[in-house]
Amino acid sequence: IMLHSTLALSLLLIAVTSNLAMAIKKEKRTPQTLSRGWGDEITWVQTYEEGLYQAKKSNKPLMVIHHLEDCQYCQALKKAFAENEEIQEMAQNNFIMLNLMHETTDKNLSPDGQYVPRIMFVDPSLTVRADITGRYSNRLYTYEPQDMTFLIENMKKALRLIQTEL
């Protein structure tokens, strides 16, 4: 009986460890996508230049998210952004999407400073839309997790501007 229970215990241990090993391997195999947690279903462009090219080519607005990995406000915004189905769907279907962890050389993308997080829109005529701002006068292009409805309105505004202006 002693031998039987030892054998059963060893088999159980082997089963648990191999499952654990598979779980760890699976975790590692996931490729690092350009989404960086902002939405894995969204097709992200790699660079600002590529974003401008795609915006012009597809006649869709480019949405640029500036953020940093160790910024708690960015992390909170990212979570709200990634969990919002309407934002994810619009981002996936109607926008060219870019999230950057470094500044671009385009000074138009930092009209009121190089803070993070900030979200800006560039229309297909390659004009940075300084007229699509968030709710805060001290940091015009920042959004907080509770501002998702406001961000949705701004995304719709960016889409409307294309139809009326271009």
Q: Whole-angstrom Cα distance, residue 51 to residue 73? A: 24
**Residue 40 placed within a domain:** no
**Residue 3 placed within a domain:** no
**Residue 14 placed within a domain:** no
pLDDT over 60 at 33, yes or no:
yes
Do 124 and 59 form a contact (C-beta atoms < 8 A)? Answer: yes
**Residue 105 placed within a domain:** yes
pLDDT at 22: 54
**Residue 17 placed within a domain:** no
**Residue 70 placed within a domain:** yes
pLDDT at 29: 41
Q: Whole-angstrom Cα distance, residue 41 to residue 99? A: 14
CATH number of the domain bearing residue 134: 3.40.30.10
pLDDT over 70 at 165, yes or no:
no
Which residues, other chains included, contact 58 with Cβ-Cβ below 8 Å and sequence gap of 6+? 96, 124
Instruction: Map tokens 């900030």 to a residue.
Output: 118
**Residue 155 placed within a domain:** yes
Q: Whole-angstrom Cα distance, residue 129 to residue 131? A: 5
The per-residue pLDDT for range 80-94, each reduced to its tens digit, is 999 999 999 999 999
pLDDT over 80 at 24, yes or no:
no
Q: 123 lies in which domain range?
A: 48-159
Looking at the 3D structure of the chain, how many domains does it have? 1
Distance from chain centroid for Cα 83: 11
**Residue 121 placed within a domain:** yes
